[in-house]
């Protein structure tokens, strides 16, 4: 079963987004054979309201969507537990989404992720070092830093993240919006397939196009199954990420380099 680990449930008429349609994403994902998608709100002034909307969307499309709760590290500071008690404890969302454009990830959010036993999907917008400190300080929490750490193709940041992947067992990344294909090969060769999750960054990016990148990696079947859903399922089940020998698990990708 193919799982997209990264999709924004936004529509084009929302303020300050490019024209996009979540409904169109759903149709494209279905056509591409994507059976499940992790979804979360776009930027908002009120994440409590948005998380309720995400939960409604998940219920409406059950069992197709997996909802993550958005948290603003500054505006929601001091009430993260309260926010997540509703979003995760009552509404059944299964992870936390934080974006550095709101505010840098906080120790408060990491502590609550540990408490609720859920992963954190955090876009660090290329600021890797301070993020790695939080990842190291919270070894029980699974972190996913999307786009190899930079949506904007900041190669230095992406290489910094790739170098850290094998060093921190609870650190992962996703493939969404990564344009330089060889960096995905580099990540796999360096850290193995347990550290990479397939994500689309829909509805802005086309899920079939993003999925084609994973197919093009030429991974052995069991490694592809991890990237395409197995890793996310393991994170949601609160199981630790096994340390793997990169080259032995991704022979065709390594050969291709």
Residues 6+ apart with CB under 8 A from 229: 1, 2, 3, 36, 198
**Among the candidate windows 37-45, 49-57, 126-134, 195-203, which touches Zn ion by CB under 5 A?**
195-203
Measured from the CB atom, the residue of 43 and 244 that comes closer to Zn ion is: 43
Can residue 210 be called a binding residue for Zn ion (CB under 5 A)?
A: no
Nearer to Zn ion, 79 or 179 (CB): 179
> For residues 35 and 178, what is the distance between their CA atoms, to the nearest angstrom?
22
Of 186, 243, 195, which is closest to residue 217 (Cα–Cα)? 186
- For residues 98 and 71, what is the distance between their CA atoms, to the nearest angstrom? 6
Q: Of 158 and 219, which has the nearer Cβ to Zn ion?
A: 158
Out of 201, 210, 224, 231, name the contact with Zn ion by CB under 5 A. 201
174 makes contact with Zn ion (CB under 5 A)? no
Does 102 bind Zn ion (CB under 5 A)? Our answer is: no
Among residues 214, 208, 166, 218, the alpha carbon closest in space to that of 187 is found at 166
The residue whose Cβ lies closest to Zn ion is: 201
3-state class (DSSP) for residue 162: helix
Stretch binding Zn ion (CB under 5 A), from 23-31, 110-118, 193-201, 224-232: 193-201
CA gap 149, 186 in Å, rounded: 14
CB of 6 to Zn ion, least distance (A): 6
How many CB atoms neighbour CB 139 within 10 A? Answer: 13
Give 66 or 219: the residue with its C-beta nearer to Zn ion: 66
Stretch that binds Zn ion, among 10-18, 59-67, 181-189, 196-204 (CB under 5 A): 196-204
Binding site for Zn ion (CB under 5 A): 201
């Amino acid at each position: 079963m193919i799982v997209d680990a990264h999709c924004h449930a936004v529509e084009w008429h929302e303020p300050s987004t490019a024209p996009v349609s979540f409904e169109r994403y759903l149709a494209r994902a279905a056509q591409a054979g994507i059976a499940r998608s992790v979804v979360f709100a776009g930027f908002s002034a009120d994440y409590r309201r948005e998380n309720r909307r995400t939960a409604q969307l998940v219920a409406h499309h059950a069992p197709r969507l997996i909802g993550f709760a958005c948290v603003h590290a500054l505006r929601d500071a001091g009430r993260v537990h309260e926010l997540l008690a509703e979003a995760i404890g009552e509404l059944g969302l299964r992870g936390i989404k934080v974006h550095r454009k709101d505010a840098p990830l906080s120790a408060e959010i990491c502590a609550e992720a540990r408490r609720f036993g859920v992963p954190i999907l955090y876009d660090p917008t290329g600021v890797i070092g301070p993020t790695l400190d939080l990842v190291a300080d919270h070894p029980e929490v699974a972190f996913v830093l999307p786009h190899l750490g930079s949506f904007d193709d900041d190669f230095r940041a992406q290489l910094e993240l790739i170098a850290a992947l094998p060093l921190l067992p609870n650190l992962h990344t996703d493939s969404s919006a990564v344009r330089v294909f060889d960096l995905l090969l580099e990540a796999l060769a360096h850290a193995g397939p347990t550290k990479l999750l397939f994500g689309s960054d829909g509805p802005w990016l086309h899920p079939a196009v993003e999925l084609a990148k994973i197919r093009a990696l030429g991974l052995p079947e069991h490694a592809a199954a991890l990237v395409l859903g197995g890793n996310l399922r393991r994170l949601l089940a609160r199981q630790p990420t096994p340390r793997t020998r990169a080259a032995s698990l991704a022979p065709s990708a390594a050969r291709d380099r």
